[in-house]
Structure 1
Amino acid sequence: MATKAKPIAQVALGLEPGPFHERLVAHNRQQSWVNWMGYASPSVLDNVEFEYFAIRNQSTLFDISPMCKYAITGPDAETVVNRLVTRDIRKLKPGRVAYCIWCDEDGNVVDDGTVFRLSETEFRLCCQEPQLSWLEDIAWGFDVSISDVTRDIAGLALQGPTSCALLKDLGLAGIETLKTFGIAGFEIAGSVVTISRTGFTGDLGYELWIRPADALKVWDALMGAGKLRGLRVIGYEALEMARIEAGFLLPKVDFLSAQTVLRADRANTPYELGLEWLVALDKPHFNGRRALVDLSKQTPRRKLVAIEIERDKPAHNALVYHRKNREVGMVTSALWSPTCKRNIAYAWLDAPYGQSVTDDLWVEIYLQKEIRWQRRMVRCKLVDKPFFAHPRRTATPPADH
């Protein structure tokens, strides 16, 4: 009997197929894949420009199933989550989501992610890096259950200005009343779906959480309803463009986790990352609080800042100089923004640059033209993030567009 051929992504990379893999293979004309936590995730399916502009003008689907997901349940669940993260989770009501970070005992950031409060005693933590051992250490001695539910929950990010209209076309009554960072339950194609108004694009959008057994049914229903709404499946590269515009930081790109760095001075505090607004020093004890109290009184040794660069060449992996001759930092993420029509980037600057010294900053960009490399020194300036902030992201109810 003939055996069924494995999808190309599995053969090429030796990666695990996710719950939507069968559909992704059919859409991935480029057969371009990346490794996301052991899963085959599409990098570019067709054309990165088309995929990017679909985020900003239509609606898009991106498979977020590989994201690490942890269930935290029990009478002491709130206490455990509040001991982990730097925000005051006691203020988070059931049916709401919060963006959070957590730190080691030295006040360095371990990871960032989203905390879903499903009920008084049920939480879900979604993040980029494995955190089970960290959670189990925090939960020791408390009446709480911690479990890795990554493979028990499939996820889809439905993002873009027509995303709400698409869900209404599917008959999801009341979806237009769901506020930003809200959670609600719905039914799609006979399957129970939890929908949160969250995302990584800075645009109007939702994340759908589904049983893996129902994944393909829900996918097909969305694709069917999306024909009149310009729905397009996208890959990582288009999402990367949108997240830079939206002001979101990415682990392993903009910062390193304190639990994975090889050199102690490579870890970063919330104050260096510009995330001090996520630190609630007035709440009960949490991991790293003592160190963060001291750090809050000090000038950060370096700062991750948003910059705008003259001209139109992205400053990938560029160095930053003061007065063109003193090296003071480096660029982590860079992009010529098609929507903002600006040359934007995030850069680490050593103190006092980016803090008390903000003028006469330059970026060193290398361009290859007809095989030859050219060096270009271009002026840059500090700006506020996010670069892209459209009112439709938080509008309730959203327009149909």
Structure 2
Amino acid sequence: MAGADERMLLTTPFHSRVAAACETNCWGNWKGYTTPNSYIDLELEYFAIRSTTGVFDLSPMGKYRVTGQDAEAYLNRLITRDVSKIREKRVGYTVWCDDEGQVLDDGTIFHLGPNDYRICAYARAIDWLLWSAEGFDVCVEEETQNVAALAVQGPTSCAALMAMGLSGLDALKPFGIEYFDFEGEQLMVSRTGFTGDLGYELWIAPEKAEDLWDRLFAAGAPHIIKPFGMEALEMARIETGFIQAGVDFIPAEETIRQGRSRSPYELGLDWLVDLNKPVFNGRKALLDEKSRGSRYRFAILDVAGNKPANNSFILKNGKQVGVVTSAAWCPTAKTNVALAQLEMPHGAIGEELVAEIYYQRELHWTKVNAPCKVLESPVFDPPRRRQTPALPY
């Protein structure tokens, strides 16, 4: 078991390599695992994602295996989208809700084979998954510690991986899965990621983790490969408009005060809700919400100036109508971006609002009322993200 010693936090199968590369010695806690916030420099790591190849240790991500003849029916009961439409060797993004139609978490479902799926999620969910399995002929197992994972992201990521020997990877379509042999062990590669760029995720047995890291970085050296930490990932995901559980919404199971959770509609994820399915968690509540309307609307804001609008109030005619949940100055898009929750009916595309920003310099707090506008789409969405075959940058 990775990290099975006397330390408070677990370590991943890549920890020996990660620790050696982490020059800043800046660490965080990701669901009980020690993980680097940065390695060398935030901007260098960010530009590795956007200009060359960046590598992120994804191993602490919660991973759950669902097998058995009722696997599809079981998952269709849990999640909002139609699992039958996720074909074998494909990955689907989805959310799952409680009975009130409030989001418990978002994540990905990997269709690995007949009656064989893997759920990857932010929140630890094994208890809920096991409770929900009653009445279904399924086996649900947590495999977080049994699978080592790396996210390999950026324009030269495909070229770096092919240089490592993954021949034909350039033909893999977005959200596709392919299998390769790696020193006698199965290496699963999915064209997925959390950066909004061309990228892949690698999944392998923990005992092969260090060898995989070494071979990847040796093959990727001509493609300027670098590891990146949580801070660079945060900047990249905001730039591409991806929401983060625990940041842009509170999982419904973790809320204390009524009204603090959000529905898929309130997070801009209505496209993941298939009301044609006869039964799934929260369906009745979501039908009611669609009929009466939602309380909030998710919005991507273009904020004037260069002061990130973290934790800002959003105003309309001097009245608070929302809050910023994530914000960053995005170097590639050269735009000040904020993700926000706005009270309905605010948040229509093109609506002009004001972000009430407070920032500190040399112990002096300054307030700025920055004009902002609701955008139709994320500020960063490059064609290479979807292009197949992937170009050999």
Judge same fold: TM > 0.5, yes or no: yes
2:329 counterpart residue number: 336
1:347 counterpart residue number: 340
1:226 counterpart residue number: 220
Shift of 1:168: 1.2
**Aligned equivalents of 2:52 and 2:126: distance in 1?**
37
**Aligned equivalents of 1:178 and 1:227: distance in 2?**
23
**Aligned equivalents of 1:27 and 1:10: distance in 2?**
22
TM-score (norm 2): 0.96
**Aligned equivalents of 1:351 and 1:100: distance in 2?**
24
- Identity over aligned residues, as a percent? 46
**Aligned equivalents of 1:360 and 1:43: distance in 2?**
34
Q: 1:48 and 2:42 equivalent? A: yes
Q: Secondary structure at the match of 1:259?
A: helix
Shift of 1:67: 0.5
Q: Secondary structure at the match of 1:297?
A: helix
Shift of 1:120: 2.0
**Aligned equivalents of 1:252 and 1:13: distance in 2?**
25
1:4 counterpart residue number: none
Shift of 1:188: 3.0
CA contact (8 A) 1:189 1:218 kept: no
Shift of 1:11: 11
Q: 1:258 and 2:252 equivalent? A: yes
Paired amino acid for 1:23: R
Q: 1:153 and 2:147 equivalent? A: yes
CA contact (8 A) 1:73 1:121 kept: yes
Q: Secondary structure at the match of 1:18?
A: coil
Q: Secondary structure at the match of 2:277?
A: coil
1:216 counterpart residue number: 210
Counterpart among 120, 130, 135 of residue 126 in structure 1:
120
- Deviations 1:253-280, CA, capped at 9 Å, x for gaps: 0000011100121011111111100000
CA contact (8 A) 1:170 1:188 kept: no
1:3 counterpart residue number: none
Number of positions where the alignment pairs a residue of Structure 1 with one of Structure 2: 391
Q: Could you tell which deviates more after superposition, 61-70 or 371-380?
A: 371-380
Structure-2 change in CA distance of 1:89 and 1:52 (3 Å): same
**Aligned equivalents of 2:189 and 2:370: distance in 1?**
44
Counterpart among 139, 144, 148 of residue 138 in structure 2:
144
Shift of 1:10: 11
2:84 counterpart residue number: 90
**Aligned equivalents of 1:28 and 1:11: distance in 2?**
21
- Deviations 1:90-142, CA, capped at 9 Å, x for gaps: 11110000000000001000100000001120000000101112111221111
Paired amino acid for 1:74: G
Q: Secondary structure at the match of 2:254?
A: coil
Q: 1:326 and 2:319 equivalent? A: yes
Counterpart among 300, 304, 307 of residue 306 in structure 1:
300
TM-score (norm 1): 0.95
Q: 1:19 and 2:19 equivalent? A: no
Paired amino acid for 1:211: A
**Aligned equivalents of 1:203 and 1:375: distance in 2?**
34
2:193 counterpart residue number: 199
**Aligned equivalents of 2:352 and 2:190: distance in 1?**
43
Structure-2 change in CA distance of 1:314 and 1:13 (3 Å): farther
**Aligned equivalents of 1:330 and 1:353: distance in 2?**
12
Shift of 1:23: 0.5
Paired amino acid for 2:356: E
Q: 1:393 and 2:385 equivalent? A: yes
**Aligned equivalents of 1:26 and 1:156: distance in 2?**
16
**Aligned equivalents of 1:260 and 1:377: distance in 2?**
33
**Aligned equivalents of 1:40 and 1:276: distance in 2?**
34
CA contact (8 A) 1:13 1:40 kept: no
2:287 counterpart residue number: 293
Paired amino acid for 2:389: P
Structure-2 change in CA distance of 1:375 and 1:13 (3 Å): farther
**Aligned equivalents of 2:7 and 2:71: distance in 1?**
38
Shift of 1:170: 1.5
CA contact (8 A) 1:156 1:207 kept: yes
**Aligned equivalents of 1:247 and 1:189: distance in 2?**
38
Shift of 1:13: 7.6
Paired amino acid for 1:340: A
**Aligned equivalents of 1:173 and 1:194: distance in 2?**
13
What is the aligned-residue RMSD (CA, Å)? 1.7
CA contact (8 A) 1:82 1:89 kept: yes
1:5 counterpart residue number: none
Q: Secondary structure at the match of 1:307?
A: strand
Shift of 1:360: 4.3
2:360 counterpart residue number: 368
Q: Could you tell which deviates more after superposition, 293-302 or 27-36?
A: 293-302
CA contact (8 A) 1:188 1:221 kept: no
- Deviations 1:368-397, CA, capped at 9 Å, x for gaps: 344322211111110023221001011111
